[in-house]
Amino acid sequence: MEKTYQIKIWKIIQIIFYNLLVSFIPFVIIGEFLLQIPQIFPVTFLAIIFYTSISCFRKEIIVKRNKISYFNFAGEEKVLDIIKNDVRIVESVESHIKSLRIKVKRYLKFTENGKIYLKNISWITSKEGNELKTYIWKYKHLFKRKVGKYENDILEEKNFNIPREKLSILKEMDIKIKFFVISIINFVIFIFFSEKGTEKFIIHLIYAIIVETILIIFYIAYYSNMKEKIHKKLPQNITIDNLKITIGKKEFYKSDVKKITMTGLKIMEKSYFKIFDVPKVLIIESSIRKQKFLIVPSGVNAKWKYPEYVLLFKSIRNWCFENRVEFIINGY
């Protein structure tokens, strides 16, 4: 593989916009923001443009076989050997309560002279980061095979039983909790904005009852049999051997499989309570079909409720490396 990763224009614009917002926060706090804009904006804008241009100029990563070169404004900063420097791509996932979103910081992790270093490469896109991470995984895997450092169980048949009953119940509980929380919020809003003993109180009460009725109808229509729906979607077991992957009763031979996509190990859709996990899925594309399998439903924390997902992920990943099947990470 020989590829170059460079910072995108839209990423530079995003950094400029973010820096502008941060620079204006002090003026918002002291209440003089509107008055000071005409005086400070041109100077601040030019300073941020200049700083961002210098910091982003010539930022690139060049991958060539076992070497990863990192460039910045001053030129070539590091040339790393994937094996000798134990190069990895790691992410730090942070939740932002105010904006209800996640922020992912991506780093190039390596060792040098016995010390561990982290180089921030958050400027590359999620797709590029996953591509680079997969390449490093694949190179290390094939290197171990080449030098005879195979893990004993790498070609052995592996069986994974999916706890369908437990995961279905957890998903049903997650839906009920969400509806309960929404109902509580609805009545809290009703009590907060209503004046007892007035006509508005009766009107607001009617609105609250209508909203609750709609919620109940919606729940009955779409979620009353959620347990059964999830139970049917989840495969009972997954078997991996050197020739094929078997999911339930469906077999996928390595000669037919072109690409496999799996949800990453770190991806989480965080909220105020940090409990809403995205679904973990497996997508297999062959020459004649493309099938999507649900492994862990959304709203269920795979880390605690199905920790075997990590081993399943790594087993399918290594199976792809061995059989020259394209492996893609969805998420992080």
**Residue 302: how many other CB atoms lie within 10 Å:** 23
pLDDT band for position 318 (cuts 50, 70, 90): very high
Contacts of 207 (CB under 8 A, 6+ apart): 190
CA distance 246 to 235: 10
Question: Among candidates 231, 103, 119, which has minimal Cα distance to 164?
Answer: 231
At residue 15's C-alpha, the angle toward residues 91 and 102, to 5°, is 40
pLDDT at residue 268, rounded to an integer? 44
Q: Are 220 and 230 in contact (CB under 8 A)?
A: no
> Which tops the pLDDT comparison, 95 or 13?
13
Beta strand extents in the chain (DSSP E only)? 2-6, 60-64, 67-72, 75-81, 88-96, 101-112, 115-120, 158-161, 237-240, 244-247, 250-253, 257-263, 280-286, 290-296, 326-330
The pLDDT score that the predictor gives to residue 138 is 94
Which pLDDT band holds residue 283 (cuts at 50, 70, 90)?
Answer: very high
Given a cut of 80, is residue 312 above it in pLDDT?
yes
Q: Do the beta carbons of residue 212 and residue 179 sit within 8 Å?
A: no
Q: 241 versus 41: which is more confidently predicted? A: 241
Give the pair of three-digit tokens for residue 299: 């709203």
Q: Give the pLDDT score at 132.
A: 94
- List, in sequence order, every beta strand (DSSP E) within 97-243: 101-112, 115-120, 158-161, 237-240
- Check whether 95 has a pLDDT greater than 70: no
Which residues 6+ apart lie within 8 Å of 87 measured at CB? 68, 80, 81, 108, 109, 110, 136
Query: Could you tell me which residues come within 8 angstroms of residue 117 by beta carbon, excluding any fewer than 6 positions away?
Result: 109, 110, 111
Phi, psi of 7 (to 5 degrees): -65, 135
Average pLDDT on 121-143 reads 91
- pLDDT band at residue 274 using 50, 70 and 90 as cut-offs: very low
For the chain, give every domain's residue range: 2-146, 158-162+235-330, 166-229
More confident of the two residues 227 and 4? 4
User: What pLDDT does 154 receive?
Assistant: 59
pLDDT at 122: 84
Q: What is the widest separation between alpha-carbon atoms in the chain? A: 83
Say which amino acid occupies 2: E
322 Cβ partners below 8 Å, 6+ apart? 141, 154, 155, 242
- The answer to whether residue 104 scores a pLDDT higher than 80 is no
Average pLDDT, the chain: 79
Query: Minimum mean pLDDT among 108-117, 264-273, 281-290, 301-310: which range?
Result: 264-273
Q: Please determine, for residue 58, whether its predicted confidence score (pLDDT) is greater than 60.
A: yes
Side chain identity, residue 159: N
pLDDT confidence tier of residue 271, bands split at 50, 70 and 90: very low
Pick the residue with more confidence: 123 or 143?
143
Percentage of residues in the chain having pLDDT higher than 70: 71
- 126, pLDDT greater than 50: yes
Highest-confidence segment of 18-27, 56-65, 117-126, 180-189: 117-126
Q: Judge whether residue 65 has pLDDT over 50.
A: yes
Q: Provide the 10 A C-beta neighbour count for residue 277.
A: 22
End-to-end Cα spacing for the chain: 22
pTM, to two decimals = 0.76
- Identify the CATH assignment for 158-162+235-330 out of 2.60.40, 2.30.29, 3.30.565, 2.20.25: 2.30.29
